[in-house]
A and B are shown apart, each in its own frame.
Chain A
Amino acid sequence: MKCRVCRGPAVIDVRRQNANYCRDHFLRMCRDQVTKAIDEFGMLRPEERVLVAVSGGKDSLACWHILRELGYEADGFVIGLGIGDYSLESTRFARSFAEERGWTLHETSLRDDHGFDVPTAAKATHRVPCSACGLSKRHLFDAAAREHGYDVVATGHNLDDEAAVLFGNVLRWQTDYLGRQQPVLPARNGFPRKVKPLVRLGERETAAYCVLAGIDYIVEECPMAAGNRHLGYKEALNAIELQSPGSKHDFYFGFLKRASGRFLTDAEAEQNDLDACGKCGAPTTGDICAFCKLVDRAGGHEPVVLRDRR
């Protein structure tokens, strides 16, 4: 295998591009793809302060690293989710990454600062853990951006994430979700702008970026996500990708180009009439926001003892 750019020995193939790359040109290709996404969707302006939602996994650390490499003023924010050793370990990776580089990492803990954790919330609400986890993350990232004066929240969602979410939303024709599935969500009613700079990079590429850039990340999978529907969608899409490279890219970017606009009204209808939460002041469609309701239901419960589901 030879590098597409320099014809030197390649270390990785990117089949959807029908290309192979050496280390240096692969890292450059990743940065170029992020630049292209930022420009194409108007994600960031050079002077803006960016808060990167960091988990300690490959995507968020790659996102943070690339944004800094591109010259953005980007700091990190990590949430202790209370998912046993997995959360402790993933937070350790985030801290080490920031400390080694002297970068600012803000932290909060669900258990210490809000009185519950993800396993407890799942038990108290009788819903899947990913539901409470996602709700908490979205709320706390928004709140942290407002509190610390960041213009934008950047997340590490990659092409595989977006294609899998799209796949699930299409399977169930969740038209409100389809209307909201954009690489940029504009700032509105107290929510900061949210951007996904990695949408042009596949999951295998973000992992390879970390290995080649010397970024240590948590490889272990979240024990609460094991066997979830989202992973099943990713596996299904990768089975298609194996036979037909480029399918995930065409599926997602074809949706953005040709179909997403048709669902905007469904999403807009749901997001009208936002008011301030009576408890925390966050924007909400009701009197109390979903996060504060979660705190009420899950707060005060003793932590759930985790059993390894892997």
Chain B
Amino acid sequence: MKVLLRNPRRELEVAGPISVIALLNRLDMNRESVLVIQGDELIPGDAMLDDAQTIEIRPVISGGCA
């Protein structure tokens, strides 16, 4: 599947099937710090992803301290 990452924007190819949680673990990402999105929809942690999908892993942490 195609995985879009942000900050900086880049793309990865990851072989499916794989669950959302397993994908985040494989990419060493904290599930508390990201959302997994397909189109305009959120993908829950227990969903299985397959090779045909294009998803975005969107960071949710923003950093201004003001």
A residues in contact (CB < 8 Å) with B:
1, 9-13, 15, 20, 55, 57-59, 130, 133-135, 137-138, 160, 164-165, 168, 202-204, 206-208, 211-212, 214, 219-222, 225-226, 228-231, 234-235, 238-239, 241-242, 310
| Known A211-B40, A221-B7: A204·B32 in contact at CB below 8 Å | yes
Q: Is the interface of B mostly helix, strand, loop or mixed?
A: loop
CB neighbors of A among B1-17 (8 A): 6-8
Q: B65, A230: Cβ atoms under 8 Å? A: yes
Q: Is the interface of A mostly helix, strand, loop or mixed?
A: helix
Q: A230, B35: Cβ atoms under 8 Å? A: no
Chain B contact-residue range equals: 20 to 34
| Known A11-B42, A12-B44, A238-B33: A165·B65 in contact at CB below 8 Å | yes
Closest 5 pairs between A and B when the two form their complex, measured CB to CB: A134-B66, A225-B63, A230-B65, A207-B60, A231-B63
Chain B residues, Cβ within 8 Å of A222: 62-64
B residues in contact (CB < 8 Å) with A:
6-8, 30-35, 37, 40-46, 58-66
Q: A1, B44: Cβ atoms under 8 Å? A: yes
Q: B31, A242: Cβ atoms under 8 Å? A: yes
Name A239's closest neighbour in chain B (CB-CB): B30
Q: Can you identify 24 A-B contacts, CB atoms within 8 angstroms? A: A1-B46, A11-B43, A11-B44, A12-B42, A13-B44, A58-B60, A130-B64, A137-B66, A160-B61, A165-B65, A204-B35, A207-B58, A211-B40, A211-B41, A219-B6, A221-B59, A221-B62, A225-B63, A226-B63, A238-B32, A239-B30, A242-B31, A310-B7, A310-B8
Q: A220, B60: Cβ atoms under 8 Å? A: no
CA separation between A230 and B59, bound complex, in Å? 15
Name B45's closest neighbour in chain A (CB-CB): A13
Chain B residues, Cβ within 8 Å of A135: 66
Q: B65, A130: Cβ atoms under 8 Å? A: yes
> Nearest chain A CB to B55's CB is how many angstroms away?
13
Residue in A58, A202, A220, A242 whose CB lies within 8 Å of B6? A220
CA separation between A14 and B6, bound complex, in Å? 23
Name A15's closest neighbour in chain B (CB-CB): B32
Q: B62, A59: Cβ atoms under 8 Å? A: yes
> Nearest chain B CB to A165's CB is how many angstroms away?
7
Q: A134-B65, A239-B30 are in contact. List 8 more A-B contacts (CB 8 A).
A: A12-B44, A202-B32, A204-B33, A204-B60, A207-B58, A226-B63, A230-B64, A310-B8
Chain A residues, Cβ within 8 Å of B45: 1, 13
CA separation between A10 and B43, bound complex, in Å? 9
CA separation between A206 and B40, bound complex, in Å? 15
